[in-house]
Structure 1
Amino acid sequence: MKVLFVSYEVYPIAKVGGLADVAGALPKYLKDLGVEIDILMPFHKSIDKNITSNTGVVQKTRFLKREISFELHKKLRPLGNVDVFLLRNDELMNSDEVYGASDLGLQAMSFSDAAAGFAADRGYDIVHLNDWHTGLMAVYLKQGNANCRTVFSIHNLAYQGTYGREYLQLSGIESRFLNGITAGKNINFMKAGLLYSDKLSTVSPTYANEIQTEEYGAGLEKVLSRRKRDLVGILNGIDYSEYDPEKDTRLWANYGLDSIEKKEINKSNLQLLVGLPKSREPLVGLISRLVDQKGLDLIEEIRGELMRLPIQLVVLGTGDKKYEKMFKDLQENYPDKVAVRLAFDLDLAQKIYAGADLFLMPSRYEPCGLGQMFAMRYGTVPVVRYTGGLADTVKEYGLSDHGNGFGFADYRGECLLKALKKALEVYNHDDSWREVVRNAMKEDFSWEASAKNYLSLYKQTLEVKSNA
């Protein structure tokens, strides 16, 4: 089985969010299961030019009304055991930010066209597409009669890649494919992937059900409901070789299940690093894009009551100005309780995962969520809203024999506050707290099980081919 895994971001080459973590880990585990797999991604401006070599191959678009050429590069060292190919066009990839191009629609469309040619030329059995930036590949592969099947993974349905009529006209997509992928006079890249891929997946079982409803379907719930037989939810994993508290060199002290007490060293050093006084009060970590999706309006709703709780809060992330200002104001007004870093800092993120006592994820919706998995791996107990992958991974302590966290269902500030108060009660009982921390650390969110599920999905996808 020969598979091409296509993603706009791949850790550690280029990372914005959880998609990069998935793309940087899943292919390696699939390779270990015997899958012949390569990764293909754009050559973003921010990528270190010294880690690749130019293959000398020029990959041209085949469908666009205007021909665009890409240089094909290859990473000098495989990612683990997986080869990584990159399509380079400096004119289109003109931003230091992965999604910051002056014309992201044209970039994604032309990349998808050229990538479809790459996949067809190299004879892959399956092309695994990820999120809206690659959605048009499913159409181009069908239109070009490529001898391969497609799997399309939805990482976040809210971001769909909708562009105006001029993109539709430039796309070169034949009229027989257009009815389904338009939204009024616009072209919808996500919808293209949903309609024309052979199989669909998303990143947790609960989210797979949620996106078929009006509340979570972002306008595509009817499309997803029609394709529910082809849709499966497979929980993301995390790379246990990369995220290991016993070996992580970014920590002040390494620890494991038999040495959890050393976690306290990381807490003390983290407090010192971010300017908080050393305190036994629980340190709550929040690492997030600062946007509405992440439930930050609930924090705004209860900010007064939150600051009266016996906690410290460390926040890492960037996003909407209103939330950046909210957290900055909290830091200014409560300097002994709140530390804020408005940045993207992987090193500090690891220190927070290891040094915090609680990890906050009150998301309005969360397709899978990796933060709660990282946190539990490091013995930091999650407090979440039970939605999407958070509902699939966090089990309420006190209600489950192996409770590993705390949460709430109704999207209200008072419910978040109640969940936090319950977590604080348990924190103040040493034996109970030790139990919930150990339960969290014992969870297995490694990629092995998820990779086997994807392998099963690939096999089903090939059966679609043989029965076609």
Structure 2
Amino acid sequence: MKVLYVSYEVYPLAKVGGLADVAGALPKYLRDLGVEIDILMPFHKSVDKNVTSKTGSILKTRFMKREISFELYKKSRPLGNVDVFLLSNDELMDSEEVYGASDLGLQAMSFSDAAAGFAADKGYDIVHLNDWHTGLMAVYLKQANANCRTVFSIHNLAYQGTYGREYLQLSGIESRYLDYISEGSDINFMKAGLVYSDKLSTVSPTYAHEIQTEEYGAGLERILSRRDRDLVGILNGIDYSEYDPEKDPRLWVNYGLNSIEKKEINKSNLQLLLGLPKNRVPLFGLISRLVGQKGLDLIEEIRGELVSLPMQLVVLGTGEKKYEEMLRDLQEDHPDKVAVKLTFDLDLAQKIYAGADFFLMPSRYEPCGLGQMFAMRYGTVPVVRYTGGLADTVKEYGLSDHGNGFGFVDYNGESLLEALKKALGVFDHDVFWREVVSNAMKEDFSWEASAKNYLSLYKQTLEVKRNA
């Protein structure tokens, strides 16, 4: 079985969010299962050129009304025995940010066109597409009558890639396909992937059900409901070789389940680094894009009650100005309780996973979420809203066997506050606290099980009769 895994971000070459972690890990585990797999991604301006080499090949778009060329590069050393190919065009990849191009729609369309040609020429059996940036590949592969099947993974349905009439006209997509991927005079890249891929997946079983409802379907719930038999939810994993508290070089002190007392040293050093008082009150970590999806509005709703609780809070991330300002104000008003770092810092993120007592994820929706998995790996107990992958991975302590965290269902500040108070109550009881930390660390969210599920999906996909 020969598979091409297509993603706009791949760790460690380019990372914005969880997609990069998935793309940097899953192919390696599929390779271990005997899958012949390559990765294809754009050559973003931020990618280190020293780790790549030119192949000498030029790829051109085949369907768009305007021909665009790409140079094909290859990562010098395979990523866990997986070759990584990169398509380069300096005019289109004109930003240091992965999604910051001056014309992201044109970039994604032309990349998808050229990438479809690459996949067809190389004879891949399956092309695994990820999120809206690659959605048009499903259409271009059909239009090319390519002898390969497609799997389309939804990492976040809310971001769809909708562009105006001029992109529709430029696409070169035949009229027989256009009616199914357009919205009025606009073209919807996500919709293209959902309609024309042979199989669909998303990143948790609960999210697979949620996106078929009006509340979470973002206008595409009818399409997803019609394709229910082709849609599967496969929980993401995390790379246990990369995220290992016993070996992680970014920690002040390494520790494991049998040396959990050393975690306290990481907490003390983290408090010192952040300028927070060094004391035993529980430290909550929040590492996130600072946007409404992530429950920042709930924190704003209970900000007064929050700072009155016996706890400290550290926030790491960037996002909407209103939330950045709200958090900055909290820090200024309560410097002994709140530390805010409005940046993207992988080193500090690891120190927070290891040094915090609790990890906060009060998301409005969360397709899978990796933060809660990282946190549990490091013995940091999650406090979440039970939605999407959070509902699939966090079990309420005291209500379920082997409870590993705390959470709430109703999306409002009062429910969040109740969950926080329950978590704080358990923290104050040493026996219960040791139990919930132990339960969290014993969870296995490694990629082995997920990779086997994807391999099964690939096998099912190969059995699909291809309809033009």
TM-score, normalization: structure 2? 0.99
Query: Is 1:206 the counterpart of 2:174 in the alignment?
Result: no
1: distance between equivalents of 2:83 and 2:53? Answer: 12
Paired residue for 1:460?
460
How far apart are the structure 2 equivalents of 1:263 and 1:296? 28
User: Does 2:172 align with 1:172?
Assistant: yes
Instruction: Give distance in 2, aligned partners of 1:349 and 1:441.
Output: 18
- Which amino acid letter does the alignment assign opposite residue 330 of structure 1? L
* d(CA) in 1 for partners of 2:428, 2:256: 22
CA contact (8 A) 1:149 1:465 kept: no
Whole-angstrom CA distance in 2 between matches of 1:83 and 1:256: 33
| Corresponding residue for residue 400 of structure 2 | 400
CA distance in 2, matches of 1:279, 1:465: 63
Distance in 2 separating the partners of 1:333 and 1:257? 37
What is the rounded CA distance, in whole Å, between the counterparts of 2:466 and 2:11 in structure 1? 34
Match of 1:151 in 2: 151
Q: Within 5 A, what are the aligned runs for 1:51-450?
A: 51-450=51-450
Identity of aligned residues (%): 87
Q: Secondary structure at the match of 1:100?
A: coil
Tell me the SS of whatever aligns to 1:70: strand
Aligned partners of 1:213, 1:466: CA distance in 2, in Å? 28
Distance 1:306 1:275 in 2: 19
Distance, in Å, in 2 between the alignment partners of 1:427 and 1:183 is: 51
Q: How far apart, in 2, do the equivalents of 1:63 and 1:262 lie? A: 59
SS at match of 2:200: strand
Residues 358-400 of structure 1 show CA distances to partners (whole Å, capped at 9, x for unaligned) of 0000000000000000000000000000000000000000001
1:58-80 deviation digits (Å, cap 9, x = unpaired): 00000000000000000000111
Contact 1:181/1:187 (8 A) holds in 2 = yes
- Name the amino acid aligned to 1:196: Y
Instruction: Tell me how far 1:25 sits from its aligned partner.
Output: 0.2
Deviation at 1:300, TM superposition (A): 0.3
**Number of residue pairs matched by the alignment:** 468
Structure 1 stretches (4+) deviating beyond 3 angstroms? 465-468
SS in 2 for 1:147: coil
Counterparts of 1:223 and 1:465, CA distance in 2 = 20
User: Could you say what secondary structure the match of 1:118 adopts?
Assistant: helix
Partner SS for 1:323: helix
Structure-2 separation of matches of 1:184 and 1:348:
45
> Amino acid of the residue matched to residue 439 of structure 1?
N
After superposition, the C-alpha distances for 1:160-199 in whole angstroms (9 at most, x for unaligned) are 0000000000000000000110011100000000000000
Asked if structure 2 preserves the Cα contact closer than 8 Å seen for 1:211 and 1:224, the reply is yes
CA distance in 2, matches of 1:319, 1:57: 39
Q: Distance in 2 between matches of 1:224 and 1:22?
A: 23
The SS at the match of 2:241 is coil
Question: What letter corresponds to residue 92 of structure 2 in structure 1?
Answer: L
Measure, in 1, the Cα distance between the counterparts of 2:467 and 2:387. 36
Which residue identity lines up with residue 76 of structure 1 in the other structure? S
- Which whole-Å CA distance do the structure 1 matches of 2:201 and 2:313 have between them? 35
- Measured against aligned partners, the alpha-carbon deviations of 1:221-275 in whole angstroms (never above 9, x if no partner) come to 0000000000000000000000000000000000011000000010000001111
- Contact kept, 8 Å, 1:294 with 1:362, in 2: the verdict is yes
Between the aligned partners of 2:463 and 2:197, the Cα distance in structure 1 is: 14
Deviation at residue 401 of structure 1 after TM alignment: 1.5
Does the residue aligned with 2:38 lie in a helix, a strand or coil? strand
Distance 1:184 1:203 in 2: 29
1:54 deviates by: 0.5
1:108 and 1:34 mapped to 2: Cα distance?
A: 31
- Residue in structure 1 matched with residue 22 of structure 2 by the alignment: 22
Shift of 1:466: 8.3
Amino acid at match of 2:390: L
